[in-house]
Amino acid sequence: MATVGLDKLYYASITESLATGDEIYGTPVLLAKAISAELSVELAEATLYADDGASEVVKEFKNGTLSLGVDNIGRSVAAVLTGAVVDSNGVLVSSSEDGGTPVAIGFRAKKSKGQYKYVWLYRVKFAVPSSSLATKGDSITFSTPTIEGTVMRRKKLDGQGKHPWKAEVDEGDLDVSQAMISGWYSNVYEPNFEED
């Protein structure tokens, strides 16, 4: 179904278990007001030919690129996402050695019928935000930052022995509970393959 809106853009910090290396997600925090989110996915593909034709085709997630347009990236969020630091005078200082740690990214997109699609991307590593600035002329033009990140699969295996990279749910699907929707931003969604 077509979407007509985007909001509730959150991030959750990731620490890795010393014993297993698995991701442990922090409490989700509002990142900024969302303007746009563009997700493109790159696949690893292979085709096996046999008997003069394609016999097997494999397409697996390799990585993705997430480009977020936001109203503002505050100092504390920029420090988490990019590895920049805030000095003792409250100034955000970016250096060539910066490299933020991956975070989980959650958001929702409004569908044309009024309900929402909810998404968590499990592991995104961001680069320094880009900016486009212009002088004010006869008309006012807003200039807002864009931040781009690489979407990766997470290290932690799910209940099926796979490495998920995204979780999404549509509000209003008959088998989706209201508790699932209302608790979407309480924590990063963990896949559950247990039978009820």
> For 100-140, what is each residue's pLDDT tens digit?
889 999 999 998 888 999 999 999 998 877 777 667 777 76
Q: How far is CA 162 from CA 105, 154, 183, 191, in A?
A: 20, 9, 24, 11
CB 56 within 8 A of CB 47: yes
Tell me the residue range of the domain where 127 lies: 3-134+141-182
Q: Is 37 within a domain?
A: yes
Q: Is 65 within a domain?
A: yes
Q: Is 189 within a domain?
A: no
DSSP assignment, residue 18?
A: T
Q: How many CB atoms lie within 10 A of CB 141?
A: 9
Rounded distance between C-alpha atoms, residue 32 and residue 182, angstroms: 20
Does 196 have pLDDT greater than 70? no
Task: Find, among 80, 26, 41, the residue nearest to 166 by Cα.
Answer: 41
Q: Is 55 within a domain?
A: yes
**Sole residue written with tokens 């590593």:** 125
Which range, of 27-31, 68-72, 151-155, averages the lowest pLDDT? 68-72
Overall number of domains in the chain: 1
Q: Is 27 within a domain?
A: yes
User: What is the pTM (predicted TM-score) of this model?
Assistant: 0.85
CB 147 within 8 A of CB 73: yes
What tokens does 167 get?
A: 């979780």
